[in-house]
Chain A
Amino acid sequence: MGQITLSGVAKRFGEAQVIPPLDLEIQDGEFVVFVGPSGCGKSTLLRLIAGLEDTTGGRIIIDGRDATGVSPAQRGLAMVFQSYALYPHMSVRSNIAFPLRMAGLPKAEQDRKVEAAAKVLNLTSYLDRRPGQLSGGQRQRVAIGRAIVREPSAFLFDEPLSNLDAALRVGMRMEISELHEKLRTTMIYVTHDQVEAMTMADKIVVLNAGRIEQVGSPLDLYRSPRNIFVAGFIGSPKMNLISGPEAQRFGAHTIGIRPEHISVHPTMGEWRGIVGVSEHLGSDTFFHVQETGLGAALTVRAGGEVSLHHGDTVFLTPEPDKIHRFDQSGLRL
């Protein structure tokens, strides 16, 4: 079980309203990702759910039980911190066994569970080391191990991969997704990396200044962002946003078109521009096209073999049914 309902949950630090009252429903077994720019309150929201921070208003209901005033240990949730927060003076084995020891489980039972967790996480040969003798990825796995032995009703992750290098991050991302498939436990995952959000989530919650901008599946958010903020935040590289006369032609205040929905042609097309910087990734190439007369440079994705050079003139054509239209206040039309 791991159904979590937030109703009217709010948080202020002194005068600063970090989280205005918000409602959110998290189903049992879901993988929910909180995503948003730095300082938008993702960690705060997660800590509110964990019970490490007191709410200023509203109620947190876990599995039908009002948990608003319940202590963190009693909520039945496990958290993996960004800094891993391993206990440096204990061996990996004692680290993983710590929650079991606190729960007063018999030693044999503890050992059995630790061995089982270590096997799942490929830590068996490191059990007698100290955290200081492990690599970043291994420490991360120990932190996860410490969380899973408790058999919590939900896992909370606060940017668990941000201290890892790019290659390891991709690996750990898959391991966590795999773990979710295996355990089928609710997971709430905080990140500011929208690739992590897109690849891992069943449901993404986009936060901005403490407010929920949109909740939905990754593809929902990609296909129909509810407003300009979500449109700009989800998708990489960012969606091109164009306002002014060109947008009015489409009957909108602002239009948005993703780089992958614009085609490039050397001689004919809707918009004319000059190629600026191009980024060759092998599989794709991203061109930054300037002087389009649209008010902003456009980013365009083309195939990896397309060869255009700095200063070349190109013509761009958007796919008409992939154009997103937004009104004056930034909402989708």
Chain B
Amino acid sequence: MSTQASRVAARAMLSPTVLLLLIWMIVPLVLTLWFSFQRYNLLYPDRSGFIGLSNYLNFVSAPAFWGAIINTFLLVGGVLLVTVVGGIGIALLIDQPIWGQGIVRILVISPFFIMPPVAALVWKNMFFNPTNGLFAEAFKLIELRPFDFLGQAPLGSIIMIVSWEWLPFATLILLTALQSLSSEQLEAAEMDGAPPVKRFWFIMLPHLARAITVVILIETIFLLGIFGEILVTTNGGPGTSSTTLTYLVYKEALLDFDAGTAAAGGVVAVILANIVAVFLMRAVGRNLDA
């Protein structure tokens, strides 16, 4: 397979793709870097030129900056927690032989097919609406005052929406992992005197470790960039209580028309994402080694 000649040929064949991907990645990154050191405000096109780090200082010293970072971590962490725990629970349930298993499985994965803004709007209007949403109705039914989810707990509500979207993904990955566990191992544990809870803890959970790692890594990548759900539900508010880093960049660029600061914010976000990636690989990446 890997003779000298075949390796050279493989590289030659791969190079156009690699080159294309490189350009694809490098060009926007370099442009962003370039803009981040420029004075570049769409409202004042005449004021331009190199201004050093002041875009960065501007972005980092914005009052919403630290809050946005905390919100980003809360969002990512919250969604990860809900999807991993919930995913394991649902995977365990739908792994049981039940009547209508096929339908149940399709229903469980269906949220994944709904595009994020639509899902968020459905949640906002159908469930969270404090006057005629379903949750409000349910609260009234048990004689409680309706709770204004998006007003009182904006970040928690967004975590709920995003978790709903990502639960199918986690469930699917964890379910396939669960199904690859040999039943003889569980039977052996049963004969060894392990009750169901201990069988889960000592046999199933270690078996799922790798799948959980995959779920965490992949979800983190996507969750760091969550934007549409925030835009259509809370607009980052009330105040800045649900503003994340991504949303802050959007606000700089398209609400304040300050492309330079937005570019600086983008670079900060990239750096932050890389720090998170390194940290994650350190923490859970070793589960991926065979």
Contacts and interface: CB of A to CB of B under 8 A. Distances in A.
Contacts of A83: 182, 184
A85 B202 contact: no
B193 to A, nearest CB: 4
Nearest to B190: A72
Interface string B182-218: 1011011111111100100011001101000000000
A86 B202 CA distance: 12
Contacts of B189: 87, 98
A98 B187 contact: no
B185 A85 contact: yes
Nearest to B188: A85
Interface in A90-112: 90, 98-99, 102-103
Interface in A179-204: none
B193 A99 contact: yes
B42 to A, nearest CB: 56
Contacts of B187: 52, 72, 79, 81, 85
A73 B191 contact: yes
Contact of B185 (A78, A87, A150): A87
Nearest to B198: A102
Nearest to B290: A132
B191 A89 contact: no
A95 to B, nearest CB: 10
Interface residues on B, range: 10 to 19
B190 A85 contact: no
A86 B186 CA distance: 10
A98 B206 CA distance: 14
A82 B198 CA distance: 23
Interface in A140-167: 146, 150
A77 interface: yes
A78 B191 contact: yes
Contact of A77 (B182, B191, B206): B191
Nearest to B194: A102
A298 interface: no
B200 to A, nearest CB: 13
Interface in B146-171: none
Given A87-B203, A98-B202, A102-B198, A150 B184 contact: no
Contacts of A90: 206
A50 interface: yes
B192 A98 contact: yes
Contacts of B198: 102
Central interface residue in B188, B195, B206, by most chain A CB within 10 Å: B188
Contact of B190 (A73, A87, A89, A103): A73
A79 B184 CA distance: 10
A146 B193 CA distance: 12
A174 B185 CA distance: 26
B188 A81 contact: yes
Instruction: Give the 10 A-B CB pairs with smallest separation, nearest first.
Output: A85-B188, A99-B192, A85-B184, A73-B193, A102-B193, A89-B206, A81-B184, A72-B191, A102-B194, A85-B185
28 contacts: A52-B187, A52-B190, A72-B190, A72-B191, A73-B190, A73-B194, A73-B195, A79-B187, A79-B191, A81-B184, A85-B182, A85-B187, A87-B188, A87-B189, A87-B202, A87-B206, A88-B207, A89-B206, A90-B206, A98-B194, A98-B202, A99-B192, A102-B192, A102-B193, A102-B198, A103-B193, A146-B192, A150-B193
Interface of A: 50, 52, 71-73, 77-79, 81-83, 85-90, 98-99, 102-103, 146, 150
Given A78-B191, A87-B206, 5 more contacts: A73-B193, A73-B195, A79-B187, A89-B206, A98-B202
